Amino acid sequence: MDSMSGGEAVMTNVAVLGLGWWGSKILRNVVQHPGTGKVVGADPLLLRRKEIKNNQDVIVVDHHDNVFDDPEIDAVVIATPPATHFDLIRKAFETGKDVLVTKPPTKTIEELESLVALAGRYERVFMMDSTFVYCEPVRRIKELLDDGLFDDIRFVQSLRYGNDLRMHHVNRLRDTMIANEVDVIEDLLFHDMAILNYLLQWESLKTTAVHRSYTFSEEFCDTAFIRIDTGNFPIHIGLSWTLPERRRELVIADAEQQLIFDDLKPENKITLFEIEERKERLIEHGNREPLFLVIDHFLNCVKNRSTPFTDGAYMLNVMKSFLSVVGFS
């Protein structure tokens, strides 16, 4: 991830489509980045536009066509519901704009393959905001694994519990997630599959069990426990909006040691536990905001016409893993 602070300043004009919970965070990082010039936010909801206008010095419009029709906009960040991604990305490419899209990039592999081909045809930058892949603790774990920290992984566990009921109220689930026809697996699993694809090597993945809980909707689950077999070791993934605890934890273990990544800690997020000696040691890592690093990398790719780390090929790889779980019945 290169910084844009050196050399001649090249300002990139950026629009953010979708100013909801995640889109507003993206917009903040875009505005704060020294490589951006004109910044536009687009959202059909008046309340969101007013809130952004009151807190950010940006242009706010009510429709994405205002962005696509603006020849000054170089790049767009698409943070709208997943079902809208395909049409918006296609239109962005057709109007000469580079694209950063939130997860999941599309609803189907066929849609994604079409967009990857279109990005190549129009010579556009196409990148996904796999935030955790740009997260410095996760990159540090990758270094440790590449250096041979674990010779024989016995199991991996990833827990992603949001405690949304106590933090945000049930209305956020009903008005945002369920209204957008997204269940907890579609909302959260993409993070896990992105991290695990980045960190670990496997020849195949086989989903052996998915247990779903339906609390507020008969159609969209809010809690899920997933078991995946890699052929060499099992992976357990726990996802929940409704469990009464917050956890963002990854554990990788062999017979001698366990590496624990607790993303909710403000610092010292990585611990290595030596089982026989009962010793823990902290693993040093950087702690810059991951989303800012995503924006920084995207703007560098736009500026230098280079291929993003999380490009179309990366997206296709993660999507295949993701859909193998989502499609499991």
> 304-327, pLDDT tens digit by residue?
999 999 999 999 999 998 888 887
CB 1 within 8 A of CB 134: yes
Q: Given pLDDT bands bounded at 50, 70 and 90, which one contains residue 234?
A: very high
Judgement on whether residues 56 and 120 belong to the same structural domain of the protein: yes
Assess whether 121 and 143 both reside in one domain. Answer: no
Distance between CA atoms of 193 and 324, rounded to whole angstroms?
A: 11
Is there a domain that residue 157 lies in? yes
Read off the CATH number of the domain in which 17 is found. Answer: 3.40.50.720
Do 39 and 123 belong together in one domain? Answer: yes
What is the span of the domain harbouring residue 41?
A: 12-131+290-312
In this structure, are 307 and 251 located in the same domain?
no
Q: Which residues lie across from 224 on neighbouring strands?
A: 212, 239
Alpha-carbon distances, residue 9 vs 26, 77, 103 (angstroms): 22, 21, 30
Residue 140 and residue 110 share a domain: no
pTM beyond 0.85:
yes
* Exposed/middle/buried for residue 125 (C-beta within 10 Å: 0-12, 13-18, 19+): buried
Are the C-beta atoms of residues 301 and 125 closer than 8 Å to each other? yes
* Cβ neighbour number for residue 36 with a 10 Å cutoff: 19
Domain identity same for 89 and 195: no
Both tokens assigned to 105: 């990039």
Residue 79 lies in a domain: yes
* Residue 269 within any structural domain of the chain: no
251 and 305, same domain (yes or no): no
| Percent above pLDDT 70 for the chain | 95
Contacts of 158 (CB under 8 A, 6+ apart): 192, 195, 196, 235, 236, 237, 238, 249, 250, 251
**Domain containing 245 — which CATH number?**
3.30.360.10
Looking at the fold, whether 154 and 218 belong to one and the same domain comes out as yes
Structural domain contains residue 7:
no
pLDDT tier at 167 (50, 70, 90 boundaries)? Answer: confident
The pLDDT tens digits of the residues spanning 107-156 come to 899 999 999 999 999 999 999 999 999 999 999 999 999 999 998 999 99
Same domain, 75 and 23: yes
